[in-house]
């Protein structure tokens, strides 16, 4: 008995994999931002946590990650946004 595995090579399958990769990268980026703030002992209000975890733009998450290293408060990572 043979199985049709063509779905795994299809354009739709590749699109699904790409979306999953992007989502995973965004989740990782958001976690990194929050970890830096928490390790620094900075209080992370729920509103900040929601904004960070709700972001799916890797460029923005990288910017917030860099700012999290020196920001005096969690809200300051959003400066100029």
* pLDDT score recorded for residue 3: 65
**71 inside domain:** yes
pLDDT given at position 5 = 58
51/69 Cα distance (integer angstroms): 18
pLDDT for residue 2: 67
Asked if the structure places residue 58 within a domain, the reply is yes
pLDDT along the chain (81 residues), means of 10: 63 78 87 97 98 95 97 95 72
Q: Tell me, what's the pLDDT at 4?
A: 60
Q: Is 26:58 a contact under the CB 8 Å cutoff?
A: yes
Residue 24 belongs to a domain: no
How many domains is the chain built from? 1
- Whether the CB-CB separation of 76 and 67 falls below 8 Å is answered with yes
Supply the range of the domain harboring residue 75.
Answer: 43-81
Any domain includes 19: no
Residue 81's H or E segment, with its range, is none
């Amino acid at each position: 008995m043979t199985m049709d595995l063509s779905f795994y090579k299809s354009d739709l399958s590749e699109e699904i994999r790409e979306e999953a990769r992007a989502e995973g990268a965004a989740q990782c980026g958001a976690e990194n931002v929050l970890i830096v703030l928490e390790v620094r002992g900075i209080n992370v209000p729920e509103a900040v946590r929601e904004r960070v975890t709700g972001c799916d733009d890797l460029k923005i998450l990288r910017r917030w990650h860099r700012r999290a290293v020196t920001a005096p408060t969690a809200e300051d990572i959003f400066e100029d946004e």
